[in-house]
Structure 1
Amino acid sequence: MRLLLMSDTHLPVRAKRLPAPLLDELPRVDVVFHAGDWVDTATLDLLESRSRRLVAVYGNNDGPELRARLPEIAYAELGGLRFGVVHETGPARGREARCAARFPGLDVLVFGHSHIPWDSTAATGLRLLNPGSPTDRRRQPHHTYLTGTLTDGRLGDLELHRLPPRR
Structure 2
Amino acid sequence: MRLLLTSDTHVPARARSLPGALLAGIDEADVVIHAGDWTDEATLDLFQSRSRRLIGVFGNNDGPPLRRRLPEVARAELAGLRFGVVHETGAAGGRERRCAERFPDLDVLVFGHSHIPWDSVAPGGLRLLNPGSPTDRRRQPFRTFLTLNVSDGALRDVTLHKLPPRR
TM-score bin (small chain): over 0.9
Matched, 1:7 2:7: yes
Which residue number corresponds to residue 110 of structure 1?
110
Secondary structure at the counterpart of residue 76 of structure 1: strand
Aligned to 1:134: 134
Q: Are 2:66 and 1:66 equivalent residues in the alignment?
A: yes
What is the DSSP-based 3-state SS (H/G/I as helix, E as strand, rest coil) of the residue aligned with 1:104? coil
C-alpha separation between the residues in 1 aligned to 2:155 and 2:32? Answer: 14
Q: Does 1:85 align with 2:85?
A: yes
Amino acid at match of 1:71: P
Aligned twin of 1:145: 145
Q: Distance in 2 between matches of 1:28 and 1:135?
A: 20
RMSD of aligned residue pairs (Cα, Å)? 0.5
Separation (CA, whole Å) in 1 of partners of 2:27 and 2:47: 11
Give 1:25 deviation, angstroms.
1.2
For structure 1, the residue ranges without an aligned partner over 5 or more in a row are none
The CA distance in 2 between the partners of 1:27 and 1:41, in whole Å, is 19
Structure-1 residue corresponding to 2:119: 119
Instruction: Tell me by how many angstroms 1:26 deviates.
Output: 1.7
Task: Give 2:96's aligned amino acid.
Answer: E
Q: Is the 8 A contact 2:134 2:143 kept in 1?
A: yes
* Post-superposition offset of 1:89: 0.1
Displacement after TM superposition at 1:27 (Å): 2.0
Q: How many residues align?
A: 167
In the alignment, is residue 30 of structure 1 matched against residue 69 of structure 2? no
In the TM superposition, residue 28 of structure 1 has moved relative to its aligned partner by: 1.1
The one-letter code of the counterpart of 1:82 is R
Give the % identical residues: 72
User: Are 1:158 and 2:136 counterparts?
Assistant: no
Determine the C-alpha separation between the residues in 2 that align with 1:9 and 1:65: 16
Q: Distance in 1 between matches of 2:60 and 2:141?
A: 23
Q: In the alignment, what sits opposite 2:41?
A: 41
**Helix, strand or coil at the partner of 1:148:** strand
Q: Shift of residue 166 of structure 1?
A: 0.5
Q: TM-score, normalised by structure 1?
A: 0.99
- Aligned amino acid, residue 151 of structure 1: S
Which deviations, in whole Å up to 9, do the C-alpha atoms of 1:15-50 show, x marking residues without a partner?
011100110112211000000000010010001011
Question: Structure 2, unaligned stretches of length 5 or more?
Answer: none
Deviation at 1:151, TM superposition (A): 1.2
